[in-house]
Amino acid sequence: MVLSQLGGKITNALKKMANSTVIDESQNFGIIYGNKVDLANMDSGTNKRKIIKQVVFDELCKLVDPGVEPFKPVKGKPNIIMFVGLQGSGKTTTCSKMAYYYKNKGWKTSLVCADTFRAGAYDQLKQNATKAGVSFYGSYTESDPVKAAKDGVTNFTIQDYEIIIVDTSGRHKQEKELFQEMKQISDVIKPNNVVFVMDGSIGQSAYDQALAFHSTVPVGSVIITKLDVKHTKGGGALSAVAATKSPIIFFGSGEHIYDLELFDVKSFVGRLLGYGDFRQLFDKIQDSGIEDKAELYEKMIERGDITLRDMYEQYKALQKMGPMDKIMELIPGFNADLLPKGSGEESQVRIHKYMCIMDSMTNKELDNPKLFDQNSGRISRVARGSGHSITVVKQMLEEHKRFSKVFGAMLKKMKGSKRGGMPNMNQL
């Protein structure tokens, strides 16, 4: 194991503790910057950049994967799929692509136009339906979108269509009215799946936008469009998933009817990271000084234990690095909204408190925390000196104990089986 990996492990275990989270006691894991990594599968030459990239990669994969099975239509029944999203996001184009996709898979498929507002909506969808080779329902004269949707769905349901896709209009009115209309349509046609379509180029507003739709109609799937457009990162996808708790099922990769691709979490995140300013991320981590603690780790391994002083050094590095949400912000498309509110700051405050307490300890105590077990007067003295209560001092000592229990065993194991060295950050 590379020593700096150990450093990362310890630092982050500390951070987790500061957040009062439970630590996994199994041996084959590492916690680096708050994330678990499988150290068993990493050879000793694995460099830090790779590890961090892997951690960030895994974390982002978790964010675009809500852990919900995507909607699966049922054969031989009408599956009503309603499309929602802002005007211009790509609803009409995408629902046509989806109709084409299902038709090619042998489903009896149809498209319903419920956009009675925008001039040309009817023609656009009708032409697309012809291109896709699927049936179409729409009306030139009907001005009520709810009625148009209902009539279309009824029409295809009685003809035993299996996939009935309903295209709705975007933001042509005041937002409130649009959402009202969307809800009325949904109440009447009772869709089996609501697909939220989002333009891949939108950034920070993605979360609020997705949430607004989801709180009006229960979104079940997300499609991100225009990922083929140059410089489109698609980072808003993370927010859309977080806000709707729904999986991304497809992404749009062009204007043609066949430009629809199945969404794959890993390749999407890989692509997203291609835009990341990783140099900055590494610089920040390197600045924290975690890498320069070879000597400290050597000593810990030698002793087979972690003292309060070791803990202090790790806290110092953590403080320098700043809250996790600030670090994650260096990743494109990442939005601090995706992290639990205040968690970063809370742990910083706790760390600060614990460091103050340790500042009031003697060198002897820092090197030998057992002294506190033998004499409770020491705890009162440190509490007084640091301006914190006895409870907080005890809490800190408890954390140290839990921490040294978990890592002490590992350090003992490492003694005698040391291999590898500190990676050279310049090579990263």
- Tokens 């090197």 appear where? 367
**Contact range with ligand GDP by CB under 6 A, out of 83-91, 201-209, 212-220, 291-299:** 83-91
- Total chain residues near ligand GDP (CB under 6 A): 19
Q: Which does 184 bind (CB under 5 to 8 A by kind): Mg ion, ligand GDP, none?
A: none
Among 173, 170, 186, 80, smallest CA distance to 124 is for 170
- Total chain residues near Mg ion (CB under 5 A): 2
Q: What are the φ and ψ backbone dihedral angles of 384, each rounded to 5 degrees?
A: -60, -50
* Concatenated DSSP letters of 352-404: HHHHHHHHTS-HHHHH-TTHHHH-HHHHHHHHHHHT--HHHHHHHHHHHHHHH
In what side-by-side order are the strands of the sheet with 193-199?
Answer: 135-137, 109-113, 163-167, 79-84, 193-199, 221-225, 248-252, 260-262
DSSP, res 344 = H
Please pick, from the candidates 259, 291, 310, 313, the single residue that binds ligand GDP as defined by CB under 6 A.
259
The yes or no reply on residue 268 touching ligand GDP (CB under 6 A) is: no
Q: Which does 90 bind (CB under 5 to 8 A by kind): ligand GDP, Mg ion, none?
A: ligand GDP
- The 72-91 contact track toward Mg ion, x by CB under 5 A, reads -------------------x
Site for ligand GDP in 284-343 (CB under 6 A): none
How far, in Å, CA of 363 to CA of 45, rounded? 36
**Contact range with ligand GDP by CB under 6 A, out of 80-88, 323-331, 355-363, 405-413:** 80-88
The yes or no reply on residue 92 touching Mg ion (CB under 5 A) is: yes
The pair of structure tokens assigned to 30 is 């590492």
Site for Mg ion in 155-184 (CB under 5 A): none
CB of 240 to ligand GDP, least distance (A): 15
Strands annotated E in 73-139 = 79-84, 109-113, 135-137
Choice between 93 and 209, CB closer to ligand GDP: 93
How far, in Å, CA of 108 to CA of 135, rounded? 9
Q: Which does 88 bind (CB under 5 to 8 A by kind): ligand GDP, Mg ion, none?
A: ligand GDP
Which residues are paired to 137 by β-bridges? Answer: 112
CB of 93 to ligand GDP, least distance (A): 3
CB of 90 to ligand GDP, least distance (A): 3
User: What's the residue count for the chain?
Assistant: 428
Q: Which does 97 bind (CB under 5 to 8 A by kind): ligand GDP, Mg ion, none?
A: none
The yes or no reply on residue 229 touching ligand GDP (CB under 6 A) is: yes
Choice between 181 and 310, CB closer to ligand GDP: 181
Query: 10 Å Cβ neighbour count for 234?
Result: 27
The yes or no reply on residue 170 touching ligand GDP (CB under 6 A) is: yes
How far, in Å, CA of 164 to CA of 82, rounded? 8
The yes or no reply on residue 254 touching ligand GDP (CB under 6 A) is: yes
Which residues contact ligand GDP (rule: CB under 6 A)? 85, 87-94, 170, 225-226, 228-229, 252-255, 259
Chain residues binding Mg ion by CB under 5 A are 91-92
